């Protein structure tokens, strides 16, 4: 498979992958560090296409009992979360003709299963431990526009605006909810550098997450900054092997009754892990790609940490 075919096969993944997790109100955020950078994330294809992606994220993570965590308007002595999110995404690259700029739009329908164990602080000396699970459609995610600019055949940049809408069910009396109960706006920029002579490729994605207030708990998450890097060595067979690195940092303090008790609950985390991908053509015509990564947390503060696995299939028509 030549370089141009491989580029078209996997470029759409970076445009609409929408990792998920609990809000900073629960110790994390809409995105998981180390999962945002994708191969060719900075490329919007010059050809008008439809692309469809099936993704699956699983995370097993926690904050120890030695740290109080805000959740559903209460304080918990630590928290443990298992979550699985399956996403189905459609992306349309618009026909903009020849030129350096290209544009796309996408829509993601997610289905969530999550289990949360928390020890709610009912008095200064009493903890009420409980485990609850939920399974249902999660908040929808859509990207009204992504604009891509081609500096050259090997250097590309894209900018986009993603929006999470609070369409899932939310119950302030339940620990596990298939919604975060807030709107989240995610402007981001991605850059791709391809080095054909060595088969190497470097992708970087940076973004900001702006949350509205959770009206059920009066909790407002501070903006989160995410930076993700991906370095991949590609082979003529379509195989790609690489390393991903992610950093999420909270800009400012959370606000609201429970956040104020924790002095803003301001945190960060850094994750890194291996990456594997494979690209081919379905029936010898339609580009098909697969990617898999494992991203354990390296260090964190006031954010849940653990292991994340992300698998993704993309078909381009």
- CA-CA distances (angstroms) from residue 82 to 59, 261, 287? 6, 26, 33
All residue ranges of the chain with pLDDT < 70 are 1-29, 123-127
Instruction: Kindly tell me the burial class for residue 11, based on how many C-beta atoms sit within 10 Å of its own C-beta (0-12, 13-18, 19 or more).
Output: buried
> Is 243 inside any structural domain?
no
> Is 308 inside any structural domain?
yes
> Is 42 inside any structural domain?
yes
pLDDT of residue 71: 81
> Is 189 inside any structural domain?
yes
Report residue 207 as tokens.
């973004």
pLDDT of residue 16: 46
> Is 190 inside any structural domain?
yes
pLDDT of residue 29: 64
> Is 68 inside any structural domain?
yes
| Number of domains the chain is built from | 1
> Rounded distance, CA 65 to CA 279, Å?
44
Q: Which of 281, 289, 197, 206 minimizes the C-alpha distance to 240? A: 289
Q: What is the separation of C-alpha 196 from the centre of its chain, rounded to a whole number of angstroms?
A: 28
pLDDT of residue 5: 42
Nearest 5°: CA angle at 132, between 69 and 83?
75
> Is 61 inside any structural domain?
yes
pLDDT of residue 75: 84
pLDDT of residue 127: 64
> Is 244 inside any structural domain?
no
Give the pLDDT confidence of 145-172 residue by residue, as tens digits. 999 999 999 999 999 999 999 999 999 8
> Rounded distance, CA 178 to CA 79, Å?
17
pLDDT of residue 123: 66
Q: What is the CATH number of the domain that holds 48?
A: 2.40.128
What is the span of the domain harbouring residue 178?
A: 3-236+251-316
CB 213 within 8 A of CB 168: no
């Amino acid at each position: 498979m030549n370089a141009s075919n491989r580029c078209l096969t996997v470029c759409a993944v970076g445009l609409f992958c929408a990792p998920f997790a609990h809000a900073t109100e629960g110790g994390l955020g809409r995105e998981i560090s180390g999962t945002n950078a994708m191969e060719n994330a900075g490329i919007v294809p010059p050809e008008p296409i439809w692309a469809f992606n099936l993704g699956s994220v699983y995370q097993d993570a926690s904050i120890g009992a030695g740290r109080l965590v805000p959740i559903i308007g209460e304080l918990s002595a630590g928290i443990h979360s298992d979550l699985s999110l399956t996403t189905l995404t459609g992306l349309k690259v618009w026909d903009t003709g020849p030129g350096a700029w290209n544009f796309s739009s996408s829509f993601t329908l997610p289905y969530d299963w999550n289990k949360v164990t928390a020890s709610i602080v009912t008095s200064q000396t009493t903890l009420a431990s409980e485990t609850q699970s939920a399974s249902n459609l999660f908040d929808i995610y859509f990207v009204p526009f992504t604009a891509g600019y081609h500096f050259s055949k090997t250097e590309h940049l894209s900018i986009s605006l993603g929006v999470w809408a609070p369409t899932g069910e939310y119950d302030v009396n339940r620990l596990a909810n298939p919604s975060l109960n807030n709107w989240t706006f995610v402007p981001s920029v991605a850059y791709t550098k391809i080095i054909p002579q060595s088969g190497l490729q470097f992708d970087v994605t940076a973004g900001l997450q702006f949350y509205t207030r959770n009206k059920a708990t009066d909790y407002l998450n501070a903006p989160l900054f995410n930076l993700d890097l991906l370095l991949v060595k590609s082979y003529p067979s379509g195989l790609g092997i690489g390393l991903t690195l992610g950093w999420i940092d909270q800009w400012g303090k959370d606000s609201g009754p429970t956040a104020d008790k924790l002095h803003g609950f301001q945190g960060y985390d850094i994750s890194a892990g291996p990456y594997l991908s494979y690209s081919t053509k379905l029936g010898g015509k339609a580009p098909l790609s697969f990617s898999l990564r494992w991203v354990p947390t390296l260090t964190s503060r006031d954010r849940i940490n653990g292991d994340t696995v992300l698998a993704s299939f993309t078909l381009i028509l």
